[in-house]
Structure 1
Amino acid sequence: MQGSERRLRVLLFLIVTSLLHHPCCSSASRQPIKSVVVLVLENRSFDHMLGWMKQSINPSIDGLTGRECNPHSTDDPRSQLICVSDDAQFVDPDPGHSFEDVVQQVFGSGAVPSMSGFVQQALTISRNLSSTVMKGFNPESIPVFAALVQEFAVFDRWFSSIPGPTQPNRLFVYSATSHGAIRHDKFNLLMGYPQKTIFDSLQEDGLDFGIYFKNIPTTLFYRNLRRLKYISKFHFFSTFKDHARRGKLPSLSVIEPRYFDLLEHPADDDHPSHDVANGQKLVKEVYEALRSSPQWNESLLIITYDEHGGFYDHVATPYEGVPNPDGIMGPDPFFFKFDRLGVRIPTIVVSPWIKKGTVVSRPHGPSSTSEFEHSSIPATIKKLFKLESDFLTKRDAWAGTFEDIVGHLTSPRTDCPEDSLLTEFQRELVELAAVLNGDYFLSSFSRETSKQMKVREASAYVNGAVSRFLEAGKHAMRLAADGSAIVNMRSSLTSITRSP
């Protein structure tokens, strides 16, 4: 009997010791992630990119069955149907994804999200587009995503932050608000969006960040990121691979893809009609740079999309219990209250600390209505790095977080595998470049100028503008200028405005 008791005590001791040292169960356990890398691609829905992986990769994914359809008219119950297929190819023209377009796609003719209006809305643009928006990619066509979904984690209930286009959704990724924007806003383009960002929160805690870009960093839409003290944080993409190789990646790395499509330098942002094969190459390049880095065992890679781009998704968008981030209402005529989310988008998270084949759906709080959306990124970064500053807005305080996705393994895994006109977002990037370059006020430069630009011309213009902006900032810093001042370019000359 005494021997049995002794063995039982030893067994209990081993169980308790195991629990205390398990990263999921011990609040004192060391959080393994020291470097977060974020790559935001362009304009694809979850079903369009990953929906068919339910059939051949992982049946746990909330994807497509092949029976999902949309009518030509949501008002006519006898209307012709167009159903999903797995033969997506190039896309031209660009499907509708403005605020008003998304309302029609999501609600159809009803008062609650039915996801029935994608075909009807596409028909207002082009008859050929109606079948295009219902197509998805066969997993064999996007092998990099197929491998990552199989090997790491996919989120099958991650939504864009607002039912609208690129720019406001990208703003949410690092600031949990668009500061009232539901589309391109010229005033905030000019002044820079004033809200606090996760970059500021990291700096307050003495942590570093880096922006690695190919054409132009969209993070320069934020006013704070235009400050002299942040100029050294911007690097060309080749530097990312160098920093990864040398183990010098900062706490947060942002990868900005190439937004302009040239013959010798194809766009790799996945924006229609850019070839998704190039996006796959970029993801592979980023993954392999991390995988071979000495920082691999402390890294977390987040791959997501800004918004759905007008492509079909069958999961109803959340429209109840979503908080307005900062009390700001959208402009007329919609006066959007920022109280519902956008369409579901693909999100993949990669780390050697993630179990193979993980599927993440609903978050466990912090609210009963919480969902994964772009604000989940700054919220998770705050928790991973235990940042002392408060949440950025009410939205990231509400959003689901995923810091526990790396808490289920006791050690990291070792088995991981030009002649076209500009899109609307590319024109917005040219306008941003014009502001950075001091050209925005010139009578020779207008919105019409960017409309007439071709991709090659625009790519050269933004590359030159960003280079001049960064060089001017570095020069001012060498002259001991105030680091909180805003870089203000005028007619290729740099002046420094007073600190706000």
Structure 2
Amino acid sequence: MTPISRRGFVGLGASMAAGATLGAGPRTAAAAPATATATATGTIKDVRHVVILMQENRSFDHYFGRLKGVRGFDDRSGITLNGGYGVFDQPNGTGRQYPWKLSATPPAGGKDGETLAQCDGDLPHSWSSQHSAWNKGRMDNWVAGVGNVRSLGYLDRSDIPFHYALADNYTICDAYFCSTLSATGPNRTYLWSGKVDQSSYDGGDESGLTWQNYAEALQGAGVTWKVYQNAADNYGDNGCAYFKTFASAKPGSALYDRGMSSVPRATGSTPDDIAAAIKADVVAGTLPQVSWVVPNQAFSEHPYAPPGDGAHFVGLVHQALAADRDVFDSTVLFLNYDENDGFFDHVPPPAPPAGTAGEFLNGVPYGFGFRVPMIVVSPWTRGGWVSSEVFEHTSVLRFLETWTSALGTPATCPNISDWRRRVSGDLTGVFDFARPVYGPVDLPATGVLGMSTCGPLPNPVPTNNALPAQESGTRPARALPYQPNGYLDRLEFGAAGKITAWFTMSNQGAPASRAAHFSIHPGAYRDTTPWQYTVDAGGTTSDYFSIGAGYGDGRYDLTMLGPNRFLRRFRGDATKAGKAAEVKSRYAVEPGTGKPAVYLRMTNSGAAQVKFTITSNHYRGDGPWTYTVAAGASAEDFFNAVAYQDGWYDFTVTVDSDATWSRRFTGHLETGGASVSG
């Protein structure tokens, strides 16, 4: 199996030694009694240690598309591609291909499908290929952009049980994006410093960067920090080394000793040595306030480093932190992935509006990149929760900013753009500091396959072509800082066949405390790129689109997307009777329940009566509801989404006068409190 690697087999010998000696890891068990409860304040101040473990090159759908209760393969708010295909039904040359299970591949090379899936090789994941797959937001060029149908390959619980157990016991983020549509080096540069520039937007491992690395901010603020690594076997993943101040630092200096030096070589196995160093500091009471953990290639999960081997390393880190119960009960472990490799994800990443400062290179946006996994392990994230708040790699730095400020030792990152600070959160919404659940959890045992097993094997090939089913069930969901709404406000008719459709997007109401990203995607009739919008908390915006002569000749099929499965779809023909019908949505407290409800106001501006029909697509089984609206009149009704459907709604509105006309309203009403996944 020949890799398409940015760095080749760095440190392969040590990796193989590790693979030969580690074997199956023990289950994580509870350690000594905790004392963290004695000083608990119920706030972020209860965090004493933050550990950041960034693994390699896996997309969210690739790992967790089948996990119950997240935005995966059963997403009813996926965009529609040109031609009327769903986003999961991707073009593949002259045909089409759905995501397919890697381990369902036929045996080959003397190994079963599961081994072949673990050994699946990497894919192109450069600035060029990532932007090509994204296709300016169309999300329809995965196979061609990546150059391989394996971009649609996925794993599930049977393949990566340890990862699924982490998600089931802690909190998974299903709207966490990598920072840029590019490779490892740029994304790790965002994690360590908050930005890239024209010298560091592409390629593998960066070098000679001159702006401030966040570790320097910690150093200046008096916050203790450390990088746990084997510098000779780190696959180039230590983001400190990308910066000139660190590369030129001398032994004995803080930047070198904390950021560039290696853990003691006690066993000859990089994963074991890193875990031993963490454990030693945990037991000695010297674990820094902030730690970055950098694996070697074989345990990084970078295809074709087996995911199971990466799970083994994550398990070792988890065990090391649990060596002292008090330390474990006051620690946050962020497990995230630098980028998606070339693996498919179906959710369009937020993109900045044209001209946004610090977010474009020669007219092309840096990001966000595609979704990647993020699991937050801590006492305050126990319980199998999901957070659908928008995050990306600089959100980790934002969390550190918020936390260090709360401790009275603020370490700020001046490099994060204003737009990223508006659109992405600081990860504090993932936590419930008032209700910790202390102690480690029992996680599945892990073993090591070893990259030497993978080298000679062929890659998996697809054996099925049907949309995968997601695990049934929901999971508890964290509150979100948005209240997105939107509708087609009106059609305007001008001379020479000119027709414009005006849209309104808003982010208003008590729960809205952060900007919401919206995008509008042309479906049929237009082949333009999606339009991007950022609507601040309490704000509203509007825009218009030509749908007349030369732009569909009156026909339209436009989809509006927002956070957390928010979707509006508008279809019709402005030359037909439906041009007189419109529906607008709003949110208000329904007096009978005292809880927020969705109100739909149907207006008929035509000369004849129209019968509107509202049909529930999901979340409730009653209806449909019909409303006869006289010429020049309106009718309004409400639906108690919060009182009866945990805030979720999904309705389609049609009219009897025009079969081409329909409006779809899908989303979730926020209340400021926890909910249930949709």
**If the length of structure 1 is used for normalisation, what is the TM-score?**
0.65
Between the aligned partners of 1:257 and 1:318, the Cα distance in structure 2 is 29
Q: Using the TM superposition, give the Cα deviation of residue 400 of structure 1 relative to its aligned residue in structure 2, in angstroms.
A: 1.0
Q: Using the TM superposition, give the Cα deviation of residue 392 of structure 1 relative to its aligned residue in structure 2, in angstroms.
A: 2.4
C-alpha distance 218-403 of structure 1, shift in aligned 2 (>3 A) = same
| Aligned counterparts, 1:288-307, within 5 A | 288-293=319-324, 294-307=326-339
Tell me whether 1:70 sits opposite 2:95 in the alignment.
no
Q: Using the TM superposition, give the Cα deviation of residue 164 of structure 1 relative to its aligned residue in structure 2, in angstroms.
A: 0.6
Partner of 1:224: 245
Tell me whether 1:134 sits opposite 2:161 in the alignment.
no
C-alpha contact (below 8 Å) 1:322/1:341 kept by paired residues: no
C-alpha contact (below 8 Å) 1:23/1:407 kept by paired residues: no
C-alpha distance 231-310 of structure 1, shift in aligned 2 (>3 A) = same
C-alpha contact (below 8 Å) 1:391/1:397 kept by paired residues: no
Tell me whether 1:35 sits opposite 2:49 in the alignment.
yes
C-alpha distance 320-415 of structure 1, shift in aligned 2 (>3 A) = same
Between the aligned partners of 2:165 and 2:138, the Cα distance in structure 1 is 32
Between the aligned partners of 2:428 and 2:169, the Cα distance in structure 1 is 18
Between the aligned partners of 1:37 and 1:279, the Cα distance in structure 2 is 16
C-alpha contact (below 8 Å) 1:304/1:346 kept by paired residues: yes
C-alpha contact (below 8 Å) 1:355/1:408 kept by paired residues: no
Q: Using the TM superposition, give the Cα deviation of residue 87 of structure 1 relative to its aligned residue in structure 2, in angstroms.
A: 3.1
Partner of 2:218: 202
**Partner SS for 2:45:** coil
Between the aligned partners of 1:152 and 1:304, the Cα distance in structure 2 is 14
288, 292, 304: which one aligns with 1:254: 292
C-alpha contact (below 8 Å) 1:172/1:178 kept by paired residues: yes
Matched residues, number: 354
Partner of 1:87: 102
- Provide Cα deviations, 1:264-315, integer angstroms capped at 9, x if missing partner: xxx1011111111110101111111112333111100001111000001111
Between the aligned partners of 1:195 and 1:121, the Cα distance in structure 2 is 32
Between the aligned partners of 2:131 and 2:410, the Cα distance in structure 1 is 38
Amino acid at match of 2:383: K
- Provide Cα deviations, 1:151-199, integer angstroms capped at 9, x if missing partner: 001010111111011101110001101233221389x62xx21111221
Partner of 2:313: 282
Partner of 1:106: 134
Between the aligned partners of 2:257 and 2:60, the Cα distance in structure 1 is 35
Q: Using the TM superposition, give the Cα deviation of residue 82 of structure 1 relative to its aligned residue in structure 2, in angstroms.
A: 0.9
Between the aligned partners of 2:171 and 2:430, the Cα distance in structure 1 is 8
C-alpha distance 166-222 of structure 1, shift in aligned 2 (>3 A) = same
Larger radius of gyration: 2
Amino acid at match of 1:402: L
C-alpha contact (below 8 Å) 2:183/2:204 kept by paired residues: no
**Partner SS for 2:335:** strand
Partner of 2:344: 312
Partner of 1:97: 125
| Aligned counterparts, 1:36-435, within 5 A | 36-54=50-68, 59=69, 61-65=70-74, 68-73=88-93, 79-88=94-103, 89-90=117-118, 93-107=121-135, 111=136, 113-122=137-146, 124=147, 129-130=148-149, 132-180=150-198, 181-184=200-203, 189=207, 192-214=208-230, 215-216=233-234, 217-226=238-247, 227-228=249-250, 229=253, 230-233=255-258, 234-236=261-263, 237=274, 238-259=276-297, 267-293=298-324, 294-321=326-353, 327=358, 330=361, 336-338=364-366, 340-362=367-389, 371-386=390-405, 387-395=409-417, 397-398=421-422, 399-414=424-439, 416-417=441-442
Between the aligned partners of 1:308 and 1:71, the Cα distance in structure 2 is 19
Q: Using the TM superposition, give the Cα deviation of residue 409 of structure 1 relative to its aligned residue in structure 2, in angstroms.
A: 3.5
Between the aligned partners of 2:411 and 2:395, the Cα distance in structure 1 is 16
Amino acid at match of 1:82: Q
C-alpha contact (below 8 Å) 1:103/1:163 kept by paired residues: yes
C-alpha contact (below 8 Å) 2:61/2:344 kept by paired residues: yes
**Partner SS for 1:286:** helix
C-alpha contact (below 8 Å) 2:394/2:416 kept by paired residues: no
C-alpha contact (below 8 Å) 1:166/1:307 kept by paired residues: yes
C-alpha contact (below 8 Å) 2:381/2:436 kept by paired residues: no
C-alpha contact (below 8 Å) 2:278/2:321 kept by paired residues: no
- Provide Cα deviations, 1:347-375, integer angstroms capped at 9, x if missing partner: 1110012230110112xxxxxxxx31010
**Partner SS for 1:304:** strand
Amino acid at match of 1:232: D
Q: Using the TM superposition, give the Cα deviation of residue 43 of structure 1 relative to its aligned residue in structure 2, in angstroms.
A: 0.9
Between the aligned partners of 1:377 and 1:268, the Cα distance in structure 2 is 22
Between the aligned partners of 1:323 and 1:47, the Cα distance in structure 2 is 30
**Partner SS for 2:379:** coil
Gaps spanning 5+ residues in structure 2: where? 1-38, 76-85, 104-116, 264-273, 443-450, 456-678
**Partner SS for 1:37:** strand
Partner of 1:9: none
C-alpha distance 323-49 of structure 1, shift in aligned 2 (>3 A) = farther
Amino acid at match of 1:244: V
C-alpha distance 324-32 of structure 1, shift in aligned 2 (>3 A) = farther
Between the aligned partners of 2:393 and 2:133, the Cα distance in structure 1 is 21
- Provide Cα deviations, 1:110-154, integer angstroms capped at 9, x if missing partner: x5x2322112224x3xxxx31x22121121211211111000010
**If the length of structure 2 is used for normalisation, what is the TM-score?**
0.49
Gaps spanning 5+ residues in structure 1: where? 1-20, 74-78, 260-266, 363-370, 422-500
C-alpha distance 360-30 of structure 1, shift in aligned 2 (>3 A) = closer
C-alpha distance 225-403 of structure 1, shift in aligned 2 (>3 A) = farther
C-alpha contact (below 8 Å) 1:160/1:343 kept by paired residues: yes
Indicate the percent of aligned positions where both proteins have the same amino acid. 22
- Provide Cα deviations, 1:359-407, integer angstroms capped at 9, x if missing partner: 0112xxxxxxxx3101001111010111435432243644311124333
Between the aligned partners of 1:412 and 1:225, the Cα distance in structure 2 is 38
Greater strand proportion: 2
Q: Using the TM superposition, give the Cα deviation of residue 328 of structure 1 relative to its aligned residue in structure 2, in angstroms.
A: 8.0
Determine which structure has greater relative contact order: mean sequence separation of CA pairs < 8 Å that are 6+ residues apart, divided by chain length. 1
Between the aligned partners of 1:204 and 1:273, the Cα distance in structure 2 is 39
Between the aligned partners of 2:138 and 2:351, the Cα distance in structure 1 is 12
Q: Using the TM superposition, give the Cα deviation of residue 91 of structure 1 relative to its aligned residue in structure 2, in angstroms.
A: 5.2
C-alpha contact (below 8 Å) 2:322/2:440 kept by paired residues: no
Between the aligned partners of 2:292 and 2:382, the Cα distance in structure 1 is 24
Greater helix proportion: 1
Amino acid at match of 1:44: R
C-alpha distance 70-240 of structure 1, shift in aligned 2 (>3 A) = same
